[in-house]
């Protein structure tokens, strides 16, 4: 974390879990525990159908609501899709884009990621753009090539001023939901290289301003060490965000 230049963000990714009726008890626990944690922004990224319940129950708190995906189209005949304008109008402030599960199961391409980033910025939503390598890419030693290319294509054609409104997340796919976490050194190294790409594409000020999160089996036991890295500005948390107690512990680690 480097709070001098950028905010710390702890974002939960509920994935396809919880029911609208289960949001209130979770929100009550989180709100009462987070009142005094001033040093990080807190986001819950819920399934689109749960966004309205989450917006309602996190109202008047410092916890913002996000979605987990968005259409690459502005509006029209796209059955089953949800637009950036609809999410924004429904009270969401953030949206995850390019999560490896969307890339894998929905065939989300780098080009679609780039379109979604532009649309969400147009609609005043903050994109949380995920990049990361598979296990074989990790073992083949091509992580940096892949991550650099993903960052470049996600931000293609986006001005520095707009880029400064984004959040990036490094999520090694081999660490997602596996209990196998990148070491703090590995996370720091890749996040610092992502920041180097931002410097090349834009300038030092822009590179310094964009929060880069780590995601992949972050939990109360490893959060403090990961968040202590200078280029790791927060976490994108899946499994541990479904348990209010664990999620609160991670938020507390970000407030040290």
Of 61-69, 120-128, 195-203, 215-223, which segment contacts ligand PGA by CB under 6 A? Answer: 215-223
Is 104 designated active site?
A: no
Shortest separation between residue 83's beta carbon and ligand PGA, angstroms? 22
Sign of the alpha-carbon torsion through 201, 114, 216, 68: positive
Which tokens sit at 202?
Answer: 């834009």
**Which listed residue (57, 99, 123, 138) is catalytic?**
99
Return the axis-axis angle of helices 110-122 and 143-154, rounded to nearest 10°.
Answer: 40
251 counts as binding ligand PGA under rule CB under 6 A: no
Of 1-9, 136-144, 184-192, 231-239, which segment contacts ligand PGA by CB under 6 A? Answer: 231-239
Instruction: Rank residues 80 and 179 by Cβ distance to ligand PGA and give the closer one.
Output: 179
d(CA 237, CA 217): 7
13 counts as binding ligand PGA under rule CB under 6 A: yes
Shortest separation between residue 193's beta carbon and ligand PGA, angstroms? 20
Which of residues 216, 227, 247, 251 is near ligand PGA by CB under 6 A?
216
User: How many residues sit close enough to ligand PGA to count as binding (CB under 6 A)?
Assistant: 13
Instruction: Rank residues 82 and 98 by Cβ distance to ligand PGA and give the closer one.
Output: 98
Residues 74 and 120 sit within 8 Å (Cβ to Cβ): no
Q: Regarding beta strands 40-45 and 63-67, do their DSSP bridges make them parallel or antiparallel, or are they unpaired? A: parallel
Q: How far is CA 220 from the centre of its chain?
A: 18
Other Cβ atoms closer than 10 A to 110:
15
Which residues are part of the catalytic machinery? 99, 171
């Amino acid at each position: 974390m480097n709070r001098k230049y950028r905010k710390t963000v702890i974002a939960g990714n509920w994935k396809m879990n919880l029911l609208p009726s289960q949001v209130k008890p979770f929100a009550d626990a989180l709100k009462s525990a987070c009142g005094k944690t001033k040093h990080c922004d807190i986001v819950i990224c819920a399934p689109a159908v749960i966004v309205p319940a989450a917006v309602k129950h996190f109202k008047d708190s410092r916890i913002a609501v996000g979605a987990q995906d968005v259409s690459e189209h502005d509006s029209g005949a796209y059955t089953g899709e949800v637009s950036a304008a609809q999410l924004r109008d429904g009270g969401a402030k953030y949206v995850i884009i390019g999560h490896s599960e969307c890339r894998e199961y929905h065939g989300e391409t780098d080009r679609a990621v780039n379109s979604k980033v532009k649309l969400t910025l147009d609609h005043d939503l903050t994109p949380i753009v995920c990049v990361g390598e598979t296990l074989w890419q990790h073992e083949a030693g091509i992580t940096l090539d892949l991550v650099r290319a993903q960052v470049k294509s996600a931000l293609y054609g986006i001005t520095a001023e707009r880029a400064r409104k984004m959040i990036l997340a490094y999520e090694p796919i081999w660490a997602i939901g596996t209990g196998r976490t990148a070491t703090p050194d590995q996370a720091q190294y890749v996040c610092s290289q992502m920041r180097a790409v931002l410097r090349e594409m834009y300038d030092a000020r822009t590179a310094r301003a964009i929060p880069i999160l780590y995601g992949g089996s972050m939990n109360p036991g490893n959060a403090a060490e990961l968040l202590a890295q200078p280029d790791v500005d927060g976490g994108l948390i899946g499994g541990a965000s479904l348990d209010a107690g664990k999620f609160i512990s991670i938020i507390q680690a970000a407030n040290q």
